[in-house]
Structure 1
Amino acid sequence: MTHRTLQTIIPSHASSDGDGVKIRRVALFDTKVADPFLMLDELGSDNPDDYIGGFPPHPHRGMETLTYLRFGALEHRDHLGNRGEIRSGGAQWMSAGRGIIHSEMPSREMSRLHGFQLWINLPAKHKMDAPKYRDVPADEIAECTLDNGINAKAIAGSWQLNSQELQGPLQDLAAQARYLDLYLPAGSEVTIPIDAGHNALAYVYEGQLETSPAAPEKSLLVFNQTGDTLQLQAKSDTQLLLLTGKAIKEPVAHYGPFVMNTREEIEQAIQDYNNGLFGN
């Protein structure tokens, strides 16, 4: 058993998107160490002015989104007729494939929003597949608490934490991506197997892990690919998202909501959208 070591720390940055929604963003389009992950946004505020504008209708092509809410509610609508709402503890998966137009709007009744949206790259052979969509209510999210007080919620993929196995409801994400929301009490430690050829990342949204160098809160920790396990120790009470996925190893061309392999494919996506080929 060989533990992976910390390779790099990528800080998040304050930004905004949609209709003025305030977020913290980690953009990964230009780094190969996070492949297949493209971007992670954290949405978090108890001031409705920071998020009530939501994300009005906009297009996507060539990637997947996975939205996970800890608090609040978001309603999804798309041009294919899909409509659904996720509430506190739930998740929403969308594969844009060859093109989808959707909106994500917050409930006006809520007084707090905290959640995350992850962008996952699609390999070239699947970028023009038909779009797909699924809501996952909170009661479908697999959860366990270990003897040392560690709590885990598996949103996607299959996990083993110390001796505990956990199966997330989403099992078919692009690049075999897995997604875990993990709470570690101060001083606790967990060991998690990581598949060969898969990258492992941890976004610490509260607290701090024992790392060298020290990683500040709201940072993405990227671990190297040498080793078959990840050992995490909490310096303080810590909440983090743990992400793993198989590196696609393909060129990434990115423009706004489109993620393809070449600049020509991006130009085609823009043309198709402008010509109404994504739908109304």
Structure 2
Amino acid sequence: MAPTSTTRQVERLLNTQPSQDGDGVKIQRLHDFAGGLDPFLMLDELGSDRPDDYIGGFPSHPHRGIQTLTYVIHGGLTHEDHLGHSSTIRSGDAQWMHTGRGIIHSEMPLTDHKGLHAFQLWLNLAARDKLSEATYRDVRAEEMPELVGSHASLTALGGRWQTLAGDSVDGPLARLAGQGAVSHARLDAGGELALANHATTLLVYVFAGSLDVAGTPVGKGQLARLSAGEELLLSSAEGAQALLLAGEPHGEPIAHYGPFVMNHRHELDKAMRDYRDGTLTS
């Protein structure tokens, strides 16, 4: 694949950092609440073959003002919320949660012979949607369509994905905030994937192997933010897996505290009061 004048280049590389959340769950986290990844806010990677690293899970907790997208590579997670949803996702499945004005939920891990490996993304809601009705949806692996490249494939979780040859698929999650699109790219050794993508925000997070993004090496645990353009060229000498994230920025103020993301401090204060008063979800 020869780069062209419209090929998107790596303009910034970010590294995940070790962190803990929930009941002592060890994660690799990358976040930007200053708008640098807009409409995305945070990426958490949960990955361990040691149950003590994650078995405490994420007991009941609130959210307001965001969407979350959880995607399981192996193992599983069981979700329960105040709306009455109770479901389990396993390898290849995803769950999408539109928190709107408020949701209270828990996520508890399940293990398989490899342990647990999963991701959670936070997407910011536009101001007009911050206090909308909360909703939830599971997506099963068999619902997610694939694109095929040269010794490479792409699984579409949400949004439209298209090759330079013109083949396209639409992921089942069509209501991701900020016209969001999320996919899982897999490249074998020597694999190549050439995509057409015009989104203002385009991010590549490598979680296995090493990926060449338009000539720039991106290693495991690194997220690349790409420049403007129309083509995304991916290749790997050794093989790699990555999440691809695309969307349109809201360009609005961001105010963040714990599980709440609003536009202004006074809205955060109200979210915290509502949670204490038991009116967050009403």
- Please classify the TM superposition score into its range, dividing by the shorter chain length: over 0.9
Corresponding residue for 1:48?
Answer: 51
Alignment of 1:18-167 (within 5 A): 18-30=22-34, 32-107=35-110, 112-146=115-149, 148-163=150-165, 164-167=167-170
The amino acid of 1:167's aligned partner reads: D
In the alignment, is the contact (CA less than 8 A) between 1:33 and 1:199 conserved in 2?
no
Structure 1 residue 140 displacement after superposition: 1.1
Corresponding residue for 2:204?
Answer: 202
In the alignment, is the contact (CA less than 8 A) between 2:130 and 2:262 conserved in 1?
yes
Structure 1 residue 107 displacement after superposition: 2.6
Instruction: Specify the SS of the correspondent of 1:270.
Output: helix
Alpha-carbon distance in structure 2 between the residues aligned to 1:189 and 1:181 = 14
- Sort the Cα spacing of 1:68 and 1:190 in 2 relative to 1 into closer, same or farther, 3 A: same
Structure 1 residue 145 displacement after superposition: 3.2
Structure 1 residue 249 displacement after superposition: 0.5
Structure 1 residue 204 displacement after superposition: 0.4
Structure 1 residue 278 displacement after superposition: 2.5
- Sort the Cα spacing of 1:188 and 1:265 in 2 relative to 1 into closer, same or farther, 3 A: same
Alpha-carbon distance in structure 1 between the residues aligned to 2:126 and 2:281 = 23
Instruction: Specify the SS of the correspondent of 2:36.
Output: helix
- In structure 1, the gaps of 5 or more residues are none
After superposition, what is the alpha-carbon deviation per residue over 1:60-81, rounded to whole angstroms, capped at 9, x for unaligned?
0000000000101111111111
In the alignment, is the contact (CA less than 8 A) between 1:65 and 1:93 conserved in 2?
yes
| RMSD, aligned CA | 1.7
After superposition, what is the alpha-carbon deviation per residue over 1:103-141, rounded to whole angstroms, capped at 9, x for unaligned?
001136765111100000000000000001001112112
Instruction: Establish whether residue 169 from structure 1 lines up as the match of residue 184 from structure 2.
Output: no
In the alignment, is the contact (CA less than 8 A) between 2:206 and 2:241 conserved in 1?
yes
Higher strand share: 2
Instruction: Specify the SS of the correspondent of 2:172.
Output: coil
Alpha-carbon distance in structure 2 between the residues aligned to 1:108 and 1:121 = 30
The amino acid of 1:217's aligned partner reads: K
Instruction: Specify the SS of the correspondent of 2:19.
Output: strand
Instruction: Specify the SS of the correspondent of 1:49.
Output: helix
Alpha-carbon distance in structure 1 between the residues aligned to 2:179 and 2:142 = 23
In the alignment, is the contact (CA less than 8 A) between 1:69 and 1:89 conserved in 2?
yes
Instruction: Specify the SS of the correspondent of 2:174.
Output: coil
Q: Which moved more, 1:44-53 or 1:60-69?
A: 44-53
Alpha-carbon distance in structure 1 between the residues aligned to 2:75 and 2:262 = 32
In the alignment, is the contact (CA less than 8 A) between 1:252 and 1:262 conserved in 2?
yes
After superposition, what is the alpha-carbon deviation per residue over 1:203-259, rounded to whole angstroms, capped at 9, x for unaligned?
00011122566433111100012x112112224201000000001101110000000
Alignment of 1:202-221 (within 5 A): 202-211=204-213, 214-221=217-224
Structure 1 residue 279 displacement after superposition: 4.8
- Sort the Cα spacing of 1:195 and 1:145 in 2 relative to 1 into closer, same or farther, 3 A: closer
Alpha-carbon distance in structure 2 between the residues aligned to 1:85 and 1:176 = 26
Corresponding residue for 2:188?
Answer: 185
Corresponding residue for 1:3?
Answer: 7
Instruction: Establish whether residue 267 from structure 1 lines up as the match of residue 269 from structure 2.
Output: yes
The amino acid of 1:232's aligned partner reads: L
TM-score by length of 2: 0.93
In the alignment, is the contact (CA less than 8 A) between 1:209 and 1:238 conserved in 2?
yes
Alpha-carbon distance in structure 2 between the residues aligned to 1:235 and 1:217 = 14
Alpha-carbon distance in structure 1 between the residues aligned to 2:252 and 2:59 = 31
- Residue identity over aligned pairs, in percent, reads 47
In the alignment, is the contact (CA less than 8 A) between 2:271 and 2:280 conserved in 1?
no
Q: Aligned residues, how many?
A: 276
The amino acid of 1:275's aligned partner reads: D
Alpha-carbon distance in structure 2 between the residues aligned to 1:259 and 1:33 = 15
